A and B are shown apart, each in its own frame.
Chain A
Amino acid sequence: MRLLGAQPFAHERALQVAFAPRIGGTLRINAAESGGGFLTLLGVTDWNPGDVIAHIEPSEAGPVDGTAGTDAARLLLLAGRRMSWAVDVDDGLLPGWHIRARAWWGDTNDERPTLLSVGFCDATGVIRGETAGFVEMFEAATFPAQVVHVSEHPATPCAPFLLEQFLRTPADHAAIAADLTQALSSTATTSDDLIFGGALLAQLTHSPMRDTYDLLTSTGLRRQKHADAILLSLGAEARSILRHRTLGYSLQILAHDLRAAGPAMRAWLASSFEPAPRSFDDIRRDYTRLMDTVGAATGARFLILNRMSTSGREDIASYAAFDAPLGDTLANVAAKEMNLMLHELADERDLFIVDVDAAAADLGGAAHVPDGVHQSAAMQARLRTSVLEVLARL
């Protein structure tokens, strides 16, 4: 089911309900319920709890979730804020490009914690899973929860970017929009520039950490407050980011995201921003400010995915060949120093470390995190369990 959004799901243009059967078997969809083709994709059907849309021919096994005595499918609800209505795909769970996507079990109206992921791709895989539909996360969750994921494109969500996003005023938004609009008014502007600029403006002028949420469940609508837990990626904290020369805001755009920009946006980034190097102490201070500010305003607690610090790919006989400080050159030394900084921060603040480094050491980093960031399914499952354990304690 997909509906055009309206209040109370403000700005959410996709709402889906996925049926999650409690038993395993073969699914037989009633042909009479669907005309096929666009009639299936775009048709509108009244929701009648008595309608039978499919049957499951059960296998020998019992209920997959151990629930005896009920054959009702669970309802996984998914909602998304699209980056643009035109950016769409007609199939699957939350298809297309969403600036924010979320899911929750809709068959209970219980109190539940909300986890907001504003990490980059090492968090995205853990949260949204292989089909981007949150399926693995909700298979693993043994308690009601809402899980929210925010797009990490085109700007990478590092701590100063998130803090400034959280603190901006409407006047700040207007100044950023005016500057960006000026950059896009060049005669060299292309469609790539407009898409990139629009997506960046959407990120710069809205803080997902201020969001509240409407949840539709089988017993009605409930309003959920700000996220209880916010998931970040240590890997998103680069040693050098960009700072706007006149407006002063921070920005980090990874090379592969920059390739999506057209000539006008590239020229603007080159002329209007300057590099802002960051030491490990700077990154620690940025984290501290973010946690203190957002925590005081919303009560959110933070989880951070640390970094794999031993790849198994290296063959270093002596460090004499590398200039000090080694953390400025060697990726694994930098990762160890960043992880250490995070542990020191956890001594001072209410922070949960999701230990990617330990999981990689246990499972095998070379096989399960071959490029140091993107994890295998087994690794994602391990990290997902860690995240859910923290969420269950909140």
Chain B
Amino acid sequence: MLLELKTPQIMPEMKEARIETVYARAGQALKVGDRILDVSIDLGSAFQQNCPPISYYRLVAREKGWLRELNAAPGDLRAAGDVLARVSTEPDEPVDAPADRPLRLATAGILGHPMMWSAKPRP
């Protein structure tokens, strides 16, 4: 069975999420409780603000599977609903078919941390 990880609609006002940290790798066997990604959501991203409304979330697997494709890198800005990863329940299952359902995820609000893309100095 094929499962999809899409950019979650964590709050109704969000349009997109920034990929902050990627923990999982393509080809990896996912276990229940494995970290997959950290994302940030900036509700004021349409224009620069002196105190932007940003919050951070971690996406954690709630079911096991094989992470077959991962299309997310730190710094990527992805629209809500974009497919970030495809997971199969069998290791050698073809992944070119439509997904059967979303991957079951836990979504947790987290603190910003130094490993995040936005915490690193950029020109």
Interface residues of A (CB under 8 A from B): 120-121, 153, 239, 254-257, 266, 270, 311, 313-318, 320-322, 328-332, 334, 366, 370-374
Contacts and interface: CB of A to CB of B under 8 A. Distances in A.
A370 B43 contact: yes
A370 B53 contact: yes
A332 B54 CA distance: 15
Contact of A371 (B43, B105, B113, B119): B43
A361 B113 CA distance: 27
Contacts of A121: 51
Given A315-B108, A322-B108, A370-B55, 18 more contacts: A255-B112, A256-B54, A270-B121, A311-B55, A313-B10, A313-B11, A315-B105, A321-B32, A330-B110, A331-B110, A331-B111, A370-B11, A370-B13, A371-B41, A371-B55, A372-B55, A372-B109, A373-B53
A370 B44 CA distance: 11
Contacts of B56: 331
A38 to B, nearest CB: 28
B104 to A, nearest CB: 9
Contacts of B110: 329-331
A329 B109 CA distance: 9
16 contacts: A256-B54, A311-B55, A313-B57, A314-B108, A315-B106, A320-B33, A321-B33, A321-B34, A321-B106, A329-B110, A330-B108, A366-B11, A370-B43, A371-B41, A372-B55, A374-B53
Interface residues of B, number: 33
Greatest chain A CB density within 10 A among B43, B105, B106, B111 is at: B111
B32 to A, nearest CB: 8
Contacts of A334: 111
Contacts of B107: 313-316
A256 B42 CA distance: 12
Contact of A153 (B50, B58, B112): B50
Interface of B: 10-11, 13, 32-35, 41, 43, 49-58, 60, 62, 105-113, 118-119, 121
A320 B105 CA distance: 14
Contacts of A372: 55, 109
A316 B108 CA distance: 6
B51 A374 contact: yes
Contacts of A320: 33
A132 B57 CA distance: 31
A257 B111 CA distance: 18
Given A255-B119, A266-B121, A321-B60, A371 B108 contact: no
Nearest to B51: A121
Nearest to A321: B33
A371 B54 contact: yes
Contacts of B113: 329
Nearest to B34: A321
> Which 8 pairs of residues, A with B, have the shortest CB-CB distance?
A321-B33, A371-B53, A331-B109, A315-B107, A121-B51, A321-B60, A371-B55, A374-B53
Contact of A318 (B52, B106, B109): B106
